């Protein structure tokens, strides 16, 4: 009987976005989001909390943010998918953790949109009030001051939502223009400030003395309050699917945007503190008491009051308008107009970038079926996720006009910190599990992501001390996410089960109850594994399932899988050739997927395989894995029995050695050894191989230990109908004894060790050492027992065995 499968059948076509954004566009998106309203609002607040050391707080935040920026640069260049941090966390931690990361990021970006929209409305109304009084009074007379802010908030939100619906190319060009204009405005502010400092350097020195007026505690408080100003470079990752040449472009754009923003921040802090003359500042406002903020009160009228003779005290008192007051101190009379105009540009560029980023997170979650799939619909003409953009726009407007933004904004900052913790953890896991990914590689691995986890988590915990409501809101939002995941997402995933792999070829000659699955990577391995697998299948009256998995890059759609059909044909032919000598039927399959280990596991479960036989070359490309990424993932929790073969020079299996100390896995090792011996005996009658069970006792062991070893081996041998020899030897350690005895044999088969729970290795430290150092072919085997049974055995066992 021959069954041919249809090469490509899939109910889900992959939805992708066009690559239209250049490296300059990407840099401007990150820079525009970072240099937003935060630099205007937080300068005065930060100096009030940390004094002149606010500049240190900003510099430290730049360093802390760089740790996470390395993770974003590596992951976004290697996995350029829409969704950014959500896509990375979902890949590393699929399931509810991946969902919650996307849910948090969507909320955080959308709230940031609301903050920028409201800030724009406030700046615009202030502009009207200061420079266009008739228009302002007419408008306020109709709808009031708050109503005017709401009108302009809605207008700017609608404008940028529409712009994002039009297309990423148009959005990117708009972001370029706005961001460059904003940098020009800030450049004027910095230039005037530096000129003032050059003219009076002694004043700048006095303003920065002492450098830590509120101690390190004030610096830490300022870091927590201003961290939101350093969020923005991560938006580049959310649109990475739309960036040209992402592997090279994304790391450059990430660090260029981050450190350009950090330098601008430090220069703004430097001139805001160093260029202000407190005496001149107070003289100006003594003449204009009606313009004083209520919280400053009459203190400012007393120029001898030391509290207000301190620059950082003055800026801190004015809080969000501190930078405007500083501009009035050392810029021409149009300074306020310039700064207000800069504030408008900043909120516009930040709003534009965050609308784009938040909608891409919603789009990615819809594409993954974690949220309604309509969010993943792309406009047929504009090629934008227009529904995701519109839904995000509705949410941001609703929050801007109804929710107390100050508290929710703090929650958004907290959720960004928690999301960055997950991204750093994901970078560690993906680097270790997928070392073959191409792209930028962060240095000093894993030190930088670990520092990112510690610093971000520390700031998040510290935030509870000055804004506990942010934690309550964040936990509430996460709880809603859990409800949606378990009531909607899991149900949709169970109903749809979108295929992550596709079978492009399958041929079945016969259906047998016992199946040996052979994942084949090259022709040499195909010949070697099929010889071993066919001997086992023959003994069990079973079949060989030869599988070749082609790992498809993320840039290609699964529907392009048919192009890889010819790649696996020589391997299938090699397997058929070797199995024919044993008269064993061969079931062949070529599969294409994103993850090789997932494709092997899926095949083993779908075809109900009894044994997976894997080849290992004896080395790995990463020191973080024992046998290579694929074998490590399979061996930790195999779907059936598993055997890993370390091939050496091919020898006839006339003498087979089984080192053992008993246990479940030893039974499987003996079964496979007997299968090899019997098949060799059938091929060469009269040359029946010997199979020897070996027990190694440590030197100096008493006679009781030696007798116990003999008794253990005899009891094992009694359970099989093939003559098994027993051998007990002494050695300085178990590994040395096995390696010494193995030189007299042609093949070594070892069961995995039953190690303690927190000492777990894939096959046990002894087995892994033998596989690496033995000059003979070594087969390590592991009996399938299920995760619960395996965990209980390792938890309850009194000690570890050498080899089972």
The pLDDT of residue 713 is above 90: yes
Least-confidence region, from 78-82, 545-549, 643-647: 78-82
Mean pLDDT to the nearest integer, 307-321: 68
**Cβ-contact 222, 54 below 8 angstroms:** yes
Phi, psi of 121, rounded to the nearest 5 degrees: -60, -45
Paired sense of beta strands 515-519 and 543-551, if any: parallel
* Residue 636 CB contacts under 8 Å (≥ 6 apart), including other chains: 762
Listed ranges 35-39, 162-166, 657-661; the one with the highest mean pLDDT: 657-661
- Model pTM score: 0.58
Q: What is the pLDDT of residue 759?
A: 34
The pLDDT of residue 309 is above 70: no
Q: Looking only at Cα atoms, what is the longest distance across the chain?
A: 115
The pLDDT of residue 51 is above 80: yes
The pLDDT of residue 189 is above 50: yes
Q: What is the pLDDT of residue 406?
A: 59
Helix (H) or strand (E) holding 148: helix 133-166
The pLDDT of residue 113 is above 70: yes
Least-confidence region, from 160-174, 359-373, 619-633: 619-633
Q: What is the pLDDT of residue 270?
A: 93
The pLDDT of residue 507 is above 90: no
Q: How far is CA 703 from the centre of its chain?
A: 56
Which has more confidence, 634 or 469? 469
What is the SS3 assignment for 791?
helix
**Percent of the chain at pLDDT exceeding 70:** 79
CA distance 490 to 154: 36
Count of other CB atoms within 10 angstroms of residue 788:
8
Q: What's the mean pLDDT when you consider all of the chain? A: 78
The pLDDT of residue 578 is above 50: yes
Query: What are the start-end ranges of the H helices in 540-616?
Result: 565-582, 596-606
Q: What is the pLDDT of residue 493?
A: 61
Which has more confidence, 555 or 579? 579
Q: How far is CA 512 from the centre of its chain?
A: 42
Q: Residue 488 gets which letter from DSSP?
A: I
* Residue 503 CB contacts under 8 Å (≥ 6 apart), including other chains: 5, 7, 589, 590, 591
Confidence label for 191 from pLDDT (cuts 50, 70 and 90): very high
Confidence label for 403 from pLDDT (cuts 50, 70 and 90): low
Q: What is the pLDDT of residues 447-503, one digit of tens each?
A: 999 999 999 998 888 878 767 887 888 888 899 999 998 888 877 765 654 445 567
CA distance 673 to 658: 8
CA atoms within 13 A on the CB side of 52: 18
Q: What is the pLDDT of residue 348?
A: 79
Confidence label for 85 from pLDDT (cuts 50, 70 and 90): confident
Q: Distances in Å between the alpha carbon of 800 and those of 74, 728, 761?
A: 39, 19, 11
Listed ranges 210-219, 667-676, 778-787; the one with the highest mean pLDDT: 667-676
CA distance 422 to 98: 9
* Residue 659 CB contacts under 8 Å (≥ 6 apart), including other chains: 694, 695, 696, 734, 738, 741, 748, 750, 770, 802, 803
What is the SS3 assignment for 547?
strand
Q: What is the pLDDT of residues 733-785, one digit of tens each?
A: 999 999 999 999 999 999 876 543 333 344 456 877 888 899 999 998 888 76
The pLDDT of residue 263 is above 90: yes
CA distance 710 to 701: 13
Count of other CB atoms within 10 angstroms of residue 143:
12
Cis amide bond preceding 363, omega within 30 = no
Mean pLDDT to the nearest integer, 425-437: 86
Which has more confidence, 510 or 671? 671
What is the SS3 assignment for 692?
strand
Q: What is the pLDDT of residue 763?
A: 46
Q: What is the pLDDT of residue 293?
A: 42
Q: What is the pLDDT of residue 367?
A: 77
Q: Distances in Å between the alpha carbon of 519 and those of 83, 158, 356, 510, 546?
A: 33, 54, 43, 19, 6
Q: What is the pLDDT of residue 689?
A: 94
**Cβ-contact 105, 482 below 8 angstroms:** no
Listed ranges 61-70, 226-235, 330-339, 363-372; the one with the highest mean pLDDT: 61-70
Mean pLDDT to the nearest integer, 608-624: 73
The pLDDT of residue 789 is above 60: no
Q: What is the pLDDT of residue 495?
A: 62
Confidence label for 96 from pLDDT (cuts 50, 70 and 90): confident
Q: How far is CA 643 from the centre of its chain?
A: 31
């Amino acid at each position: 009987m021959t069954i041919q499968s249809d090469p490509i059948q899939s109910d889900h076509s992959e939805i992708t976005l066009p690559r239209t954004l250049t490296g300059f566009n990407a840099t401007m998106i990150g820079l525009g989001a970072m240099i937003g309203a935060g630099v205007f609002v937080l300068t005065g607040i930060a100096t009030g909390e940390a004094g002149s050391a606010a500049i240190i707080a900003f510099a430290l935040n730049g360093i802390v943010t760089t740790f996470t920026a390395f993770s974003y640069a590596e992951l976004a260049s290697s996995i350029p998918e829409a969704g950014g941090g959500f896509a990375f966390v979902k890949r590393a931690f699929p399931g509810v953790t991946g969902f919650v990361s996307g849910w948090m990021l969507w909320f955080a970006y959308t709230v940031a949109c609301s903050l920028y929209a409201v800030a724009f409305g406030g700046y615009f109304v202030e502009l009207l009030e200061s420079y266009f009084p008739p228009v302002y009074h007419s408008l306020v007379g109709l709808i009031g001051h708050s109503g005017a802010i709401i009108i302009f908030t809605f207008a700017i939100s609608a404008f940028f939502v529409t712009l994002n619906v039009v297309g990423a190319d148009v959005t990117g060009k708009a972001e370029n223009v706005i961001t460059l204009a904003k940098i020009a405005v800030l450049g004027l502010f910095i230039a005037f400030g530096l000129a003032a400092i050059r003219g009076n350097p002694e004043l700048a020195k006095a303003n920065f003395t002492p450098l830590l007026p509120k101690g390190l505690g004030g610096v830490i408080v300022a870091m927590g309050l201003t961290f939101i100003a350093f969020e923005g470079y991560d938006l580049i990752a959310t649109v990475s699917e739309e960036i040209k040449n992402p592997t090279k472009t994304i790391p450059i754009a990430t660090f260029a945007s981050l450190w350009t923003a950090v330098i601008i921040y430090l220069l703004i802090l430097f001139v805001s503190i160093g260029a202000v003359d407190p005496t001149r500042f107070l003289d100006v406002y003594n003449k204009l008491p009606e313009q004083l903020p209520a919280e400053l009160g009459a203190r400012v009228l007393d120029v001898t009051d030391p509290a207000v003779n301190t620059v950082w005290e003055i800026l801190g008192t004015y809080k969000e308008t501190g930078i405007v007051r500083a501009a009035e101190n050392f810029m021409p009379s149009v300074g306020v107009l310039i700064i207000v105009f800069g504030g408008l540009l900043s909120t516009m560029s930040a709003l534009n970038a965050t609308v784009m980023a938040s909608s891409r997170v919603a789009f990615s979650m819809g594409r993954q079926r974690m949220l309604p799939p309509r969010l993943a619909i792309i406009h047929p003409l504009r090629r934008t996720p227009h529904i995701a953009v519109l839904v995000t726009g509705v949410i941001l407007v609703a929050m801007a006009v109804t929710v107390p933004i100050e508290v929710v904004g703090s929650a958004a900052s907290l959720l960004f910190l928690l999301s960055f913790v997950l991204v750093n953890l994901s970078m560690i896991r993906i680097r270790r599990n997928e070392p073959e990914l191409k792209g930028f590689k962060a240095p000093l691995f894993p030190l930088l992501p670990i520092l990112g986890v510690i610093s971000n988590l520390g700031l998040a915990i510290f935030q509870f001390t000055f804004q506990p409501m942010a934690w309550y809101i964040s936990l509430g939002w996460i709880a809603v996410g859990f409800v949606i995941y378990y009531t909607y997402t899991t149900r949709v995933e169970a109903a749809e089960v979108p295929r992550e792999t596709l079978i492009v070829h399958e041929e079945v000659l016969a259906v047998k109850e016992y199946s040996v699955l052979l994942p084949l990577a090259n022709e040499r391995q195909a010949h070697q594994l099929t010889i071993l697998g066919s001997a086992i299948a023959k003994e069990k009256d079973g079949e060989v399932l030869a599988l070749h998995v082609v790992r498809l890059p993320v840039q290609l759609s699964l529907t392009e899988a048919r192009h890889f059909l010819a790649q696996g044909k020589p391997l299938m032919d090699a397997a058929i050739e070797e199995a024919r000598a044993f008269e064993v039927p061969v079931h062949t399959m070529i599969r294409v997927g994103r993850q090789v280990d997932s494709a092997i596991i899926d095949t083993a479960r779908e075809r109900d395989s009894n044994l997976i036989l894997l080849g290992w070359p004896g080395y790995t490309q990463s020191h973080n894995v024992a046998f290579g990424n694929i074998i490590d993932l399979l061996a930790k929790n195999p779907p059936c029995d598993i055997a890993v073969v370390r091939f050496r020079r091919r020898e006839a299996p006339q003498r087979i050695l089984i080192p053992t100390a008993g246990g479940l896995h030893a039974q499987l090792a003996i079964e496979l050894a007997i299968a090899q011996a019997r098949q060799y005996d059938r091929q060469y009658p009269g040359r029946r191989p010997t199979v020897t069970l070996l027990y190694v006792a440590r030197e100096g062991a008493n006679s009781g230990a030696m007798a116990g070893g003999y008794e253990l081996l005899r009891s094992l041998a009694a359970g099989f109908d093939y003559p098994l020899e027993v051998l007990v030897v002494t050695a300085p350690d178990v590994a040395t004894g096995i390696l010494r005895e193995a030189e007299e044999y042609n093949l070594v088969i070892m069961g995995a060790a039953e190690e303690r729970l927190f000492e777990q290795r894939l096959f046990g430290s002894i087995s892994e050492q033998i596989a690496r150092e033995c000059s003979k072919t070594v087969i390590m085997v592991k009996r399938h027992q299920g995760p619960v049974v395996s965990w209980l055995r390792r938890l309850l066992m009194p000690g570890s065995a050498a080899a089972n």
